[in-house]
């Protein structure tokens, strides 16, 4: 990566974080299905979610691939919702590629884009992986040089150093697989004005055994990644609890039960300092199935919006 250009958020007008808050609203949807499910079903579901009143739809991008194409397809399928990435993997997408895509978007669609950025994990990137904070700072400089506004960027920041960078150079932070306790810590690091938009997994099940089974499946990949393991340890979970997805870990990371329990967890994040909470429905489907999660999305809309 080349030396970054020193471009920082403007000091005129509302801060990037405050501007982003107004666009994202209080509750959004985070969905594997909208990116990796059947494209026709995903477009139809995105339009419905937009009509139901969800102001932001988040899709994953950590594996790379045509995540910007997915953003474009969902922008075309919706009229009002912000389409956000959780995340663009900065090791897999050249900043100039993102800049070219951005400049090709009409102004009315640019307002509906939030690009969440992430540094991924050493075990997934391999020998090319280097100090994540320095690489992210460099990448943000390159995006600034490409014309990406800070209000349309956020970072999947978990630790203080990355949270401070998110505050200084973007709208704020989009933490994944965290608890309201982490939200409170993140708010302290971000200060009062930056966006804080945690993802929250939800399981609309009342049987504890079934909940733990779904939680274990959902965490199978993530509990092997040092960034997540480290933050869970910092939050007080033991190696054994993480390795075996203990009930305590499942209860902390996933809101489960009826809509009242989901609402209570959303409110806990808001009380701890979150501006926006994006809800990921944890499905029993073995593959990303749009139709399998649509009833849950409708239930969430009816109970929370």
Tokens 């004005």 belong to residue? 193
**298 inside domain:** yes
**48 inside domain:** yes
**2 inside domain:** no
Report the pLDDT value the prediction gives residue 5, as an integer from 0 to 100: 36
**181 inside domain:** yes
SS3 at position 89: strand
**3 inside domain:** no
**5 inside domain:** no
Q: pLDDT class for 130, splitting at 50, 70, 90?
A: confident
Mean pLDDT calculated for residue range 74-81: 98
Report the pLDDT value the prediction gives residue 62, as an integer from 0 to 100: 87
Tell me the CATH number at 66. Answer: 3.20.20.30
* Residues 217-267 pLDDT 10s: 999 999 999 999 999 999 999 999 999 999 999 999 999 999 999 999 999
**Residue range of the domain that includes 154:** 16-304
Strand order in the sheet with 199-203: 195-196, 172-173, 153-155, 113-118, 82-89, 56-59, 27-30, 277-281, 199-203, 254-256
* Residues 10-41 pLDDT 10s: 445 689 999 999 999 999 999 999 999 999 99
* Residues 138-166 pLDDT 10s: 999 999 999 999 999 999 999 999 999 99
**1 inside domain:** no
117-126, 141-150, 194-203, 252-261: which has the minimum mean pLDDT? 117-126
**27 inside domain:** yes
Supply 207's token pair: 């049987």
Tokens 């349309």 belong to residue? 152
Which pTM was predicted? 0.94
E strands present in 112-232: 113-118, 153-155, 172-173, 195-196, 199-203
């Amino acid at each position: 990566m080349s030396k970054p250009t020193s471009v920082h958020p403007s000091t005129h007008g509302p801060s990037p974080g405050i501007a982003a808050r107004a666009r994202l609203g209080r509750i959004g949807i985070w969905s594997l299905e909208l990116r990796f499910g059947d494209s026709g079903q995903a477009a139809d579901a995105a339009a419905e979610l937009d009509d139901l009143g969800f102001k932001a739809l988040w899709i994953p991008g950590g594996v790379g691939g045509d995540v910007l194409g997915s953003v474009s397809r969902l922008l075309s399928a919706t009229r009002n919702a912000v389409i956000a990435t959780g995340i663009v993997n900065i090791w897999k997408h050249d900043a100039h590629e993102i800049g070219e895509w951005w400049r090709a978007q009409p102004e009315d669609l640019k307002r509906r884009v939030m690009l969440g950025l992430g540094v991924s994990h050493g075990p997934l990137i391999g020998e090319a992986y280097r100090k994540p904070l320095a690489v992210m700072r460099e990448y943000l400089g390159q995006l600034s040089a490409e014309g990406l506004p800070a209000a349309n960027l956020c970072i999947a920041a978990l630790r203080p150093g990355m949270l401070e960078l998110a505050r200084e150079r973007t709208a704020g932070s989009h933490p994944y697989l965290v608890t309201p306790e982490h939200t409170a810590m993140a708010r302290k690091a971000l200060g009062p004005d930056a966006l804080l938009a945690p993802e929250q997994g939800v399981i609309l099940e009342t049987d504890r055994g079934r909940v733990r089974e779904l939680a274990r499946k959902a965490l199978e990949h993530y509990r092997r990644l040092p960034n997540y393991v480290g933050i869970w340890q910092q939050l007080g979970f033991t190696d054994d609890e993480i390795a075996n997805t203990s009930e305590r870990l499942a209860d902390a990371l996933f809101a489960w039960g009826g809509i009242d329990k989901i609402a209570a967890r959303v409110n806990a994040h808001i009380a701890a300092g979150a501006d926006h909470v994006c809800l990921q429905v944890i499905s029993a489907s073995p593959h990303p199935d749009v139709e399998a999660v649509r009833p849950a999305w409708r239930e969430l809309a009816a109970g929370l919006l």
